[in-house]
Structure 1
């Protein structure tokens, strides 16, 4: 076990940046490419891949310190499939070809460990999303890199996987069951869950619709749209929609009604809101109502959930809620939730709404502050604050004594100090930069990348750490999650790169849209 301490921070002064004028520069920002930084991110990708390929492939994820592996995502090679779109963006042809050969051999009918639970949500965003993204790249900007039969095999595997997962939707309401069991004599079967969450219902439609559009078979899109409709048209709004557009978390599988009115932008609800605007970008005609619901959710978030810490009223976070009213607000957020600024920026660009962009930028700054406050320069898994305006309500208590000074300085206190290689802050930096062209976001991203490299480099790859507010991150978890490849390294790369067709556009010309795992998917109807 050892840490890398290469001096990438100094390279910016040695290797000049390259300025790319946008083809639409008169109507949008220009962008600056930093070749030295791109090389640094490529090095981190290659190091992570080499460790995975030697010690873990074709299993799911690398244990970089013990040089072993986990099969935490069905044993189908999650890190390989998740890494493919990043390898394509980086033009790492050797790794692309290794992964494509692997995808052709996956037996999606069986999991490695018999009887383990297969998550419809996780399998969709990682495997299905990774494969349709690869197909779009290999029939588009990377066409000719892989032979046509192998490219077709990727789509065939995506269809095969969708067919197997389709059992999840065989419920009385059409609301899917998330947890499935494979390896049985009659194929996959569902668990006996009575509810499912809005993120695990509402974060399927992009990938499954893309499979339908690529195959001409509407079955897959229709399956996901049925469950989604219960989220767009709440049957019991007195319980399930405390604020216009902001809904509860759990939906009854039997009839599609809501079981609660708790929610926000944290895990379990987050990517439902993310996909509303992304589906509108994907196809503004078919998914016009998704835009309307996203607008309602954002307007309510700004009106009811925006909060400023008592010690730092200049900082903006979004609260969670346990029903309607100030007494039901919960002043807690997370690294996961820090995608919110980027999503609101994207929607603001799409709808030409400067107020949304500006509010998203404030949220990005708040999440940047969570990185600035810790010893490692990396933000924590979860944190809390005391709202500056609500007064002494029971849900608005002060910081615990041991963190009072920390809160006074930083505007939050830590409730979970872990960092497990999450991407959301880097993701929002990316959208902020693409919206504005302001190079400070590139600097924030580079600082974050250097801090992650310094703290999380471990053994033959990278590992999550236990305490971002302790020297060296406390201890290692010995786990390199697949989204390290798909998201952290991709966003770290793209924000330092020049323009490309798959980059987010600030001028309403998006040709691609990123799924929640950062796999770029070609927008419907755009020519290859």
Structure 2
């Protein structure tokens, strides 16, 4: 079980080094009073270290006892399909020199974190004891050695100066130049770091209807600019390279941007553009591309996009194409456990898992088919899709009925988890999102999904939610008994999900209040990831320590999750700050990402003038601009009870029986009287806990 303490990580562990010298020194001191003191120091240091960093056996057996992505990026994870990981590595490699220094620092920190063992704890305590017992002697020896080296250096310098005055002068100038460059580099780094602390919040004011309309039109213009660049330079291909003004196929040449943009174009009223895209899907969309496609990405973008177009317009061809693509994906389920593989060739229909994770299937990938396949079965009358997709969730429910959060990797052969890593970011996120959305799309009738979601949220809150010393709430990660205080931009989907769960009645009463408060706190942290950067754009992820929030990976891919959270919070609270925050994010996109042919991600958000990465992600049109548009639209533009947005923000119709609909309306009227603003209920630096202070949440 994850530890229930809150706050920040303990001090970094000392590296595990050679024990030979330490053993000899302890041997010489055995039997003396100093040895007794030293032994006590060793014991205290080792025990203190272990208590601070290891999880007790009792806790280990309670929640995360199983020993046996989302999408689009693995951040600091390796592996993946398509060109995603290679592009992320290229982004980091091509960054500024400062980014290289930062990545080296992160690697060093990671290596030090991975030395979590009893031996490292004992050695840490022993080293501290030895330093204490011998500090004066070591200091004296160091001073003597330093003085001798300085004298020798002065002698050599004098001899060199006398022997070759011109060479000495040249060497001296080179040294001064090098030292000057190093000092300038340190000054630049200090200037960048000093820009990260908290900045004053922007003024929040209620806007006139005319101003809201003006901003909405500006967002529509951005959509049109993105679309026209794609239409001109990358028509029929997956994604646009707006700087080099060409296209690229990242998802097998299925026209990912074309399909991802369909419902956004229709929603914004760009019917001519929608018509041209729909015609391409009807007549030109390739289905036999020989390409190792991500099963997950193909389902959420392509199948989901065409299902949404069908639900919004009634176009039967869209449904037919969605079914044709889904049929080519079904062989991925041909495993002994029916847990699907992650990669499939749509032409040969041969499926496989990547080697980087020991050929395991990942939680977010096999746990994010259910909404699309359920809707496809509803629309076609063929139950095969829903039965296969739901079978994987029922496998988890049957095998681990009391567990909330799940590890990231599972064997499709044995059906057992293969690693003890938990994340609400890359590789894990949308599994939790779809537990809630399956309950919604099935008419709020399948209790299995609702209860699994509630257990997962409660365990996340009790074990992974922290608040930094500067007051920022975040969701940490768990990896091999270590809490990692790392917060992905991808995790910014969580506040929107929590707010949606409270709104829809998945949890009620005081628990719904606490979910809403946590949603507000997390949305504020996501906003700060933008607000504190010189560019006004968020990095891919941040880390938290005693020094506060720090940039982890500095690139920005035009991601939607923070804007998704702001939209949900605006819809459910009508607090104007969410519109103010969203508008500032949009202005940063306009200032730093807009180029002649579209919008590009950037390589370093810390730069005042960022360098573009030359990729307009398809989700920028499917999600980012859609959430911005909805943020500045009337509530009537999207009925949150009649529609569910899949993880790519494609709207799919829900099943809403009349009796259930009437009961839900009564619940909403009742909830309006008590749920906002909720009372703050925090203990121990950010742990969301029940009224008994135990860290549990009663429903």
TM score, norm. by length of structure 2:
0.62
Identify the match of residue 298 of structure 2 among 114, 123, 135. Answer: 123
Identify the match of residue 644 of structure 2 among 506, 513, 518. Answer: 513
* Deviation for aligned residue 1:298: 0.9
Q: Which residue of 1 aligns with 2:311?
A: 136
CA distance in 2, matches of 1:161, 1:342: 30
Q: Which residue of 1 aligns with 2:500?
A: 346
CA 1:168–1:286: 2 relative to 1, 3 Å: farther
Q: Which residue of 2 aligns with 1:462?
A: 599
Q: Which residue of 2 aligns with 1:183?
A: 347
* Deviation for aligned residue 1:182: 3.0
State whether structure 2 residue 575 is matched by structure 1 residue 438: yes
CA contact (8 A) 1:132 1:155 kept: yes
CA distance in 1, matches of 2:648, 2:347: 26
CA distance in 1, matches of 2:499, 2:444: 21
CA 1:233–1:364: 2 relative to 1, 3 Å: farther
SS in 2 for 1:383: strand
Bigger proportion of residues as helix: 2
Q: Which residue of 1 aligns with 2:22?
A: none
Unaligned runs of 5+ in 1: 1-11, 19-32, 140-150, 387-397, 399-406, 505-509
CA contact (8 A) 1:64 1:460 kept: yes
Q: Which residue of 2 aligns with 1:389?
A: none
Q: Which residue of 2 aligns with 1:222?
A: 387
CA distance in 2, matches of 1:495, 1:480: 22
Identify the match of residue 298 of structure 1 among 453, 457, 463. Answer: 457
CA 1:80–1:526: 2 relative to 1, 3 Å: farther
CA contact (8 A) 1:120 1:178 kept: yes
CA distance in 2, matches of 1:161, 1:76: 10
Q: Which residue of 2 aligns with 1:412?
A: 549
Q: Which residue of 2 aligns with 1:318?
A: 475
* Deviation for aligned residue 1:234: 3.5
Deviations 1:415-474 (A, max 9, x none): 10000111111110011111101111011111111111111012310000001111122x
Correspondences of 1:48-447 after superposition (within 5 Å): 48-111=226-289, 114=290, 116-139=291-314, 151-184=315-348, 188-191=349-352, 194-234=359-399, 244-284=403-443, 286-310=445-469, 312=470, 314-323=471-480, 328-351=482-505, 352=508, 353-386=512-545, 398=546, 407=547, 411-447=548-584
Structure showing greater Rg = 2
CA distance in 2, matches of 1:338, 1:138: 31
Aligned length: 446
SS in 2 for 1:34: helix
CA distance in 2, matches of 1:250, 1:14: 46
Identify the match of residue 17 of structure 1 among 198, 204, 209. Answer: 209
CA contact (8 A) 1:230 1:257 kept: no
CA distance in 2, matches of 1:499, 1:273: 26
Deviations 1:271-312 (A, max 9, x none): 0001111111111455321110111111111111111223x1
CA distance in 1, matches of 2:333, 2:286: 18
* Deviation for aligned residue 1:131: 0.6
Q: Over aligned residue pairs, what C-alpha RMSD do you find? A: 2.0
CA distance in 1, matches of 2:582, 2:652: 23
* Deviation for aligned residue 1:61: 0.8
CA contact (8 A) 2:529 2:537 kept: yes
* Deviation for aligned residue 1:103: 1.0
* Deviation for aligned residue 1:503: 3.8
CA distance in 1, matches of 2:637, 2:626: 15
* Deviation for aligned residue 1:499: 2.0
CA distance in 1, matches of 2:279, 2:647: 25
CA contact (8 A) 1:51 1:64 kept: yes
Unaligned runs of 5+ in 2: 1-203, 659-699
CA distance in 1, matches of 2:417, 2:519: 29
SS in 1 for 2:551: strand
CA distance in 1, matches of 2:620, 2:268: 15
SS in 2 for 1:132: helix
